[in-house]
Amino acid sequence: MDLPLISHPTRDEDTETYTDDQLTEVGDLRLDAHNRIVGERAARLFGTADETGAYLQAAAALHDFGKATPQFQAHVRPDREADYADEETAHARLGALATWYVLGELGAPDRDRLACTLAIARHHQALPNAAQYTAEPLARAFEREDGAIRAQLDAIDDRWPSAAEALLEQADCPNPDWDQFYSWATSGTIATELRELSAEKSLGGHQPESRFLPEKLYDRTLRYWSAITLADKSHAMDIPEAWVFDLDTLDRETIEQYIADLRDSPPDSEHEARLNDERERARRQAVRGIHEWLTTSTENSRIATLTLPTGLGKTFTGLSAAFEARDILAERSETLATRPIIYALPYTSIIEQTRAIFEDPDLWGADPKQSALTVHHYLSQTVVQHDQYEAADATATDDEATAELLGEAWRDGTILTTFVQLFESLTGPTNRQGLKLSALRESVIILDEPQALPKDWWNGIERLLELVTEEYGARILAMTATQPSLVRNLETESLLEAGETHERADCNYCQSGPTYQQSLPAAAKTTYFEAAERVRYTIDQTALSKQLGVDESHIGYGTATNRILDVTDEDGSTLAICNTIRSSRELTETLSERPDVIHLGSYIEDVLESRNLNAVESRLSAATIAKAVLDRYETTRPATEKRTPTALLTLNSRYRPFDREMLIELADRLSTSAIPFVLVSTQAIEAGVDLSFRTVFRDIAPLDSIVQAAGRCNRSYEWGENGGRVVVWMLAAPDEETPSEPTERPPAYYVYEKGSTDAGIPGHLELISTVLADIPSNEDVPDVAVADDAVTAYFKALDQKSLWAGDLRDAIDNAKGRWLGRQSLIGGQQTLDVLVALTDADYGEIEALSTQIQNGIPQGYERLENAAGIRVSMPKSIIEDTPQLNRVDKQERNSDGVQVFEFTGGSGLEYDLTKGGLASTEDQISNRFTL
């Protein structure tokens, strides 16, 4: 076998970016060229022009050093037959060995040396538990005289020592002499050095000990590993460098023009005019707060907070502030002209509403399939396409793979995503999840309602925010309607407070910024809450009955129905938020049994079936379908002399996303109409769904969740100042016969106390009830008394329950990557996805993609990805108890393949728009826990 050594064959492929000097005479990618370019790309992704960047570039330039062996070259060349053991054709650990050597020659500190070595050793895998992996499999591999590493070294020494020496030299090794490297590598010295940083000597040998690891090893390893992984994959896939680094962006000027146009339109009332002024005052003040934060604050303050009451336009205020911060930081930077804005939300179910802002043709009109905006959650088609993909060959497999990699790597100017995508990618990510982490470098991250993060993750989240701000240099903007203590131990800057004291006359950014016709002086933060009094609260006695020494009582569903209907008339609407799906189904059923209540689910089904609508490729918008449903309802609803029948809808996570969008559209039209309307929902509606009701009933919940529920009440003052009413009660178990003397635990227990994984907060309901009882005048409570005073008291009480203790922070501090990879923000039960058909067209769509997948046709997988609108996540326990439910690939359940199921009727499940979506025909205990 002759030189040159290759990284991988490309002779039968059309290459785009490889130059002639990178290819062999027969068109294969040269190993030295691949290593060099990956080193350069990784260094650019890392971005720090100091010794740490140099260490990374050296390591990345050695990432495929292990391919310089006869074993690998015989394996990778298509015209050669390899006759070596599989472990001798592996290359990552030999690259790690070279990395440890070269970084030692460069004098790298222990943290950088070990971090780079681990990153190279695992550049095709997820990160391990560092101490155990370093002290045992890695160290053992390097000291075995009869192992694969020794066989590889001997083969290089015999065949290509000069080529290997050239690779060491290319990595800027101060002494790239092969003989010296070979002598050191075969001595086993590295095993001793690695164990000194990862293990304690014992009588039996060595015991892995995380306390010996360098401080914050996980942080540095994660950053090195993610940069190397993306650099390697992007070059191996022949992706142009510009596509990786030149990010398209959205601009702040468009927001300014959009809001100016809105303010030129006459308001409907004097109250709306005043509210609009408060929204704009807060927005301008927050932008001035950005100026203060970035010009006078210390570098230790990399987290800003924006606390505004619901209805005062946090989304536009936050975006304006984030774009301003991005532009100022870019102006200052000598190396990074464009940095992404990452907008993270709690739930997939509310992303579409925020996405609509970006796609609004009167605003940016952004297309998530083109660069400038990427939408990333588990149901989205996450791609970044460039001009080339607009051509007819856009469906080519290679092009799609490139677009998907760029999308998942967040190589875009604006990313709209979920907390799950962001934080789970920082906690033990898979190799593919790690691609996005380089995008965090000097980014601006908006966390919208971070208090919605699971409270048992808060300690870990605080540590992850340290990692993101210190290691990646990111700036965080936390937007809330409440003031959680999530970042209590971190230095933060309140944008409103900073903007209130900011001296505009002395600020170049203020002077060069937009000019406004109307002056709106800054105000104290408390002023915004006082000016935004939308609701009054009633704390029901049942919500106070979890206190010690008080007889516990619950609200039965018949009583709840009476109270809901009593306050729902032609001048109003009611939202009832339940804690579990089973509870919402019971309340829906009890309401539906009343003669003057009509559930619109049957009307929706009629419209969809009469038009034989394909929910995957529907050309009808949610608004069009909603109008058709209401037209049918108006013409066919039963007449009554007493009153207009009350329209009823149900919303939870068991509805198809396609149907949820339509349900929210219907609720939006009905909640402020002349038709009496009730929406029964789970708490998934609370954050970010822009609906407004006159009355909201909320099953007992954490105080921040109660305030979020109040955000759906009198949202834009449709019923005047303080015209909304929020009632907090405690609903009974659906099967409870005597709620006044309950024998069963309420639904709230399974969500907030026991928890779906037995990891809830002990005594949580008692704590909530006690805080509610401390509010004066429970029958008529001012908005600010709950949104500010009670929420603050609640978080202080939580602190005393040692929520901050936990394993997540310790695992990060101790670099336990494998353990972290098993953690999930979603928590609770494992879920599986089911494709749900409602119409004949849906049935046909599922059958077609299933047939294609069975036959191995790539378009079947594309159709499956595009079927996000009909995918419903179900607890794995329900799927396991429904054996007649088939997978879309028709394979056995425990076999490899596509772990997505299909529901086209029967199969032990039912999909009913009047009862709560997809459910088992047999009651399942899992319904107690899910949203």
928: pLDDT confidence band, cut at 50, 70 and 90? very low
Residue 2 confidence (pLDDT): 65
Nearest residue to 760 (alpha-carbon basis) of 793, 810, 801: 801
Q: What is the pLDDT of residues 187-211, one digit of tens each?
A: 999 999 999 999 998 877 889 999 9
What are residue 872's phi and psi, to 5 degrees? Answer: -125, 130
pLDDT, average across residues 733-745:
91
Q: Per-residue pLDDT for 775 more than 60?
A: yes
Q: What is the DSSP letter of 749?
A: I
Q: Could you tell me whether strands 303-307 and 475-480 are parallel, antiparallel, or unpaired per DSSP bridges?
A: parallel
Q: Per-residue pLDDT for 214 more than 90?
A: yes
Q: Could you tell me whether strands 475-480 and 695-699 are parallel, antiparallel, or unpaired per DSSP bridges?
A: unpaired
Residue 128 confidence (pLDDT): 97
Confirm if 499 and 493 have CB atoms less than 8 A apart. Answer: no
Residue 41 confidence (pLDDT): 97
For the chain, give the mean pLDDT.
89
pLDDT, average across residues 560-580:
94
pLDDT, average across residues 348-371:
85
Residue 927 confidence (pLDDT): 47
In terms of average pLDDT, the best of 171-175, 332-336, 905-909 is 171-175
687: pLDDT confidence band, cut at 50, 70 and 90? low
Residue 147 confidence (pLDDT): 92
Residue 395 confidence (pLDDT): 40
Residue 260 confidence (pLDDT): 93
Q: What share of the chain has pLDDT > 70, as a percent?
A: 92
pLDDT, average across residues 128-150:
95
Residue 926 confidence (pLDDT): 46
686: pLDDT confidence band, cut at 50, 70 and 90? low
- In which residue are the tokens 């210190």 written? 470
Residue 929 confidence (pLDDT): 45
> Cis peptide leading into 137, omega within 30 of 0?
no
Name the least confident of 3-12, 359-368, 385-394, 601-610.
385-394
| Dihedral-angle region of residue 905 (phi above 0 means left; psi in -120 to 50 means alpha; beta otherwise) | left
Residue 758 confidence (pLDDT): 46
In terms of average pLDDT, the best of 299-303, 663-667, 712-716 is 663-667
Nearest residue to 403 (alpha-carbon basis) of 249, 234, 236: 234
Map residue 286 onto helix, strand or coil.
helix
Alpha carbon distances (Å) from 21 to 169, 448, 826: 18, 48, 49
- In which residue are the tokens 């990452």 written? 342
Q: With both helix axes pointing from N to C terminus, report the angle between 557-566 and 581-592 in degrees, rounded to the nearest 10.
A: 60
pLDDT, average across residues 275-279:
89
Q: What is the pLDDT of residues 517-552, one digit of tens each?
A: 899 999 998 888 877 788 999 999 999 999 999 999
Residue 527 confidence (pLDDT): 85
Q: Per-residue pLDDT for 798 more than 90?
A: no
Name the least confident of 80-89, 393-402, 712-721, 745-754.
393-402
Alpha carbon distances (Å) from 262 to 265, 277, 352, 672: 5, 12, 22, 21
Q: Could you tell me whether strands 535-539 and 781-782 are parallel, antiparallel, or unpaired per DSSP bridges?
A: antiparallel
Residue 339 confidence (pLDDT): 86
In terms of average pLDDT, the best of 358-362, 389-393, 750-754, 785-789 is 358-362
Residue 668 confidence (pLDDT): 94
Q: What is the pLDDT of residues 819-843, one digit of tens each?
A: 999 988 876 667 899 999 999 999 9
Residue 205 confidence (pLDDT): 81
pLDDT, average across residues 725-747:
94
pLDDT, average across residues 476-493:
81
CA 662 to chain centre: 23
d(CA 275, CA 313): 10
Q: Per-residue pLDDT for 283 more than 90?
A: yes
Helix or strand (DSSP H, E) at 578: strand 573-578
Residue 923 confidence (pLDDT): 55
pTM summary value:
0.88
Helix or strand (DSSP H, E) at 200: strand 199-202
Residue 716 confidence (pLDDT): 81
d(CA 679, CA 916): 12
d(CA 399, CA 389): 7
Q: What is the pLDDT of residues 759-774, one digit of tens each?
A: 567 889 999 999 999 9
Residue 396 confidence (pLDDT): 45
The percent of the chain in helix, strand and coil, each rounded to the nearest 5, is 50, 15, 40
Nearest residue to 341 (alpha-carbon basis) of 315, 359, 323, 361: 323
Q: What is the pLDDT of residues 489-526, one digit of tens each?
A: 788 899 999 999 999 998 999 999 998 989 999 999 88
Residue 804 confidence (pLDDT): 55
Q: With both helix axes pointing from N to C terminus, report the angle between 110-121 and 217-236 in degrees, rounded to the nearest 10.
A: 40
Confirm if 72 and 156 have CB atoms less than 8 A apart. Answer: no
d(CA 638, CA 678): 18
Residue 756 confidence (pLDDT): 43
Measured CA angle at 670 (ends 665, 674), to 5 deg: 155
